[in-house]
Amino acid sequence: MIRLSLKKTAAAAAVTLAFTAGALLQNDSALSPVAPAAAQQIQSQLPDFTKLVEENGKTVVSIEVSKKPKSMPSRGGSDRFRGIPKDQLDLLRRFGFPFGPDFDFRGPHDSMPDMPARKGQGSGFIISPDGIILTNHHVIDGADEITVHLTDNREFKGKVLGSDEKTDIAVVKIDAKDLPAAKLGSSEKVKVGEWVAAIGAPFGLENTVTSGIVSAKSRNLPSDQFVPFIQTDAAVNPGNSGGPLFNMKGEVIGINSQIFSTSGGFMGLSFAIPIDLALQIKDDLIKDGKVHRGKLGVVIQTLTPELAKSFGLEKAKGALVAEVTKDSAANKAKIEEGDIILFFDDKEIEKASDLSRSVASAKPSTEHTVKVLRDGKEVTLKVKLDSASDSDVPTEAQQAKSKGRLGVSVRPLSDEEKKKFGDGLFVVSSEGAAAKAGIKEGDVLLSVGGKKIRSFDQFKKAVENAKDTLALQVAREGSRIYVAVKLDDKEKKEEKKEEKK
């Protein structure tokens, strides 16, 4: 019934359209069919990926991994059923389990059967004729055996030369010669809107080609502070991970790594690791099997518009130093809490993640120029980086007096607290403007308006003289952050009236 109804509706629509079109054609000859020459011209403007695939498809490989399960502990006798209530055992018997009250539960070998090996699928691409392959760390992570499938149906055992979890890059080697190698481009030259193609093995379907455009560059993802992803709308699905992203010149500009999805499949948002970063990581992995990263020794946060305003800045640019680690490279270079880092060498720092990536990309023991904004003036410093461990990198960020305009009740620090925090004030309670900004009981206020808090009177005066936004440095749960508090002018006026009374 439904199909028939649809056919009738479609037929009626077709008749109506025919009459309408006829009437239109009588009145406007411009709506005549498109000429073959014009159609050919339109078609010639669309991207053609055939040459790209013919020349580069053979450089893409499919990677199969297997992981051996952990051995099951040997359990004999009735230990397998120990702890099961008697009524549940009786229920099992009623459903046909062949054992009586005195049945010996031990198997012939007194052990649990082995579980089958777990298998995984991914992609990769050849970057040198002697069998060097780039892929994702998460494709080969924990693999006991790696099998690389080439497009000519040959298979090779793969050996991991190195892998980096932070950037999701891995280098695999196979024992082969004279292999076709992919042409490597520059992700720095990628432009938003240009056409791209992804080749990989989604769901194990080898050498599958999809296309799209570059949707954005330098995309930050919540789980990654090291990778400025290339975002595309080229279809990428499970199995595509580790495969190349090509530009129209047939050059690899990225490694497909992640998708955003609420269904587990492609939803128009895929992310690739820039090839420039991948090659830098690759060199370290081949040479030493691990990545050497620089360490500055600061806790940083991105400037919000409110924080920028409180520091007297017109635009929210730079990385705000919330904390400086003692005896760190930053400490030795005289970088101070409250500094706003504007440049790392010639790289302008727009947000905190820019500094994290710049420092992580630099080598330990190398000297760099850092330009900071301090008390409204630019200061240039020289810093020699330390060596970072995997977790040791710049991270983005922790008697009562009257509440006043800010909305906090504070008390002086105890002797023990002073040993831990230095000077500051302990927040006894928080409401109003402070509470709205996230200040809460138990916080320790370390600085106000970029100045360290030496006394309650100094703190009170800074709050009274603030215009509409005030920056507070807060110590909370072992970390230090800056919080911008929006102050109410009405509260300020009322406070002055009370003082006059």
Provide the annotated active-site residues: 138, 168, 241
Q: How far apart are CA 57 and CA 482, in angstroms?
A: 50
Angle at 189 between CA 187 and CA 193, to 5 degrees: 95
- Other C-beta atoms lying within 10 Å of the C-beta of residue 50: 8
Q: How far apart are CA 351 and CA 332, in angstroms?
A: 23
Write out the E strands in 129-200.
132-135, 145-149, 155-157, 159-164, 169-173, 183-184, 195-200
Q: Counting every residue, how long is the chain? A: 501
354 to each of 108, 319, 374, how far by Cα in Å? 62, 8, 19
Of 470, 473, 463, 465, give the one whose Cα is nearest residue 486: 470
Q: How far apart are CA 92 and CA 124, in angstroms?
A: 49
Q: Which two tokens stand for residue 7?
A: 């056919």
Q: What are phi and psi of 403, to 5 degrees?
A: -70, -45
453 to each of 285, 311, 324, 405, 422, how far by Cα in Å? 47, 16, 17, 17, 10
Q: How far apart are CA 435 and CA 492, in angstroms?
A: 17
Q: How far apart are CA 486 and CA 469, in angstroms?
A: 5
How do strand 469-476 and strand 444-448 relate by DSSP bridges? antiparallel
Q: How far apart are CA 430 and CA 438, in angstroms?
A: 9
Q: How far apart are CA 29 and CA 14, in angstroms?
A: 21
CA R_g for the chain:
32
Q: What are phi and psi of 167, to 5 degrees?
A: -105, -5
Q: How far apart are CA 321 and CA 341, in angstroms?
A: 7
Q: Which two tokens stand for residue 238?
A: 């499970």
DSSP sequence for 433-455: HHHHHT--TT-EEEEETTEE---
Please check whether residue 179 is in contact with residue 131, taking contact to mean a CB–CB distance below 8 angstroms. Answer: yes
Q: How far apart are CA 467 and CA 55, in angstroms?
A: 64
